[in-house]
Structure 1
Amino acid sequence: MYVILVYDVTDKKVTKMLNLCRRYLNWIQNSVFEGEISEVKLQELLTKAKLFMDNEKDSIIIFKSRQLKWLEKQVIGKEKNELDTFL
């Protein structure tokens, strides 16, 4: 599946969440990631994130799509991390 993951965590946890998400998805903007991921790998990411998240202060939002082709993406301004597909 293709996901867009957005997180909002306290300042002390930003680096930890950034590093965790980078292991699974492509970083495209501050606190925003996207990419293909299996349901198992997504659950693995979330399980690890929940170990240091505070449910009263931190959040993760995930938008899911079957594939990238079902998602229309428009970027206004400079894209921070362009995703290229190499075959």
Structure 2
Amino acid sequence: MYVIVIYDVDQSRVAKVCKFLRQFLNWVQNSAFEGEITESQLERIRTGILDRIEPNEDSVYIYKFRDAKFMRKEVIGVERMPTDTIM
């Protein structure tokens, strides 16, 4: 599945959330990640985020798509980190 994760967390937790999400997804902009992951990786992301945020103060949105081909992305301006790079 393809996911987009965006978050708004307290400044004291931003680095922890960012570092954690980089293990699974591509950083595309401040507080925004996307990428192809499995269902088990999504569960690990959910659990890991809950360990790093304060649910009463922070918010994280996860948008799920069956596959990247069902999503259309348009970038206006500078694309910070293109996700089509092959490593």
Aligning the two structures, in what range does the TM-score lie when normalised by the shorter sequence? over 0.9
Residues 65-80 of structure 1 correspond to what in structure 2 (within 5 A)?
Answer: 65-80=65-80
CA drift at 1:52: 2.4
Cα deviation 1:30-59 (Å, max 9, x = unaligned): 000000011111111111111121111111
State the TM-score, normalized to the length of structure 1.
0.94
Q: Give the aligned partner of residue 21 of structure 1.
A: 21
CA distance in 1, matches of 2:83, 2:16: 23
Secondary structure of 1:5 counterpart? strand
Identity of aligned residues (%): 43
RMSD across aligned positions (CA) = 1.3
CA distance in 2, matches of 1:33, 1:79: 13
Q: Give the aligned partner of residue 49 of structure 2.
A: 49
**Structure 2 residue 25 is matched with structure 1 residue 36:** no
Q: Give the aligned partner of residue 83 of structure 2.
A: 83
CA drift at 1:85: 4.5
Q: Give the aligned length.
A: 87
Secondary structure of 2:47 counterpart? helix
CA distance in 2, matches of 1:16, 1:47: 14
CA distance in 2, matches of 1:23, 1:12: 20
Q: Give the aligned partner of residue 8 of structure 2.
A: 8
CA distance in 1, matches of 2:58, 2:35: 22
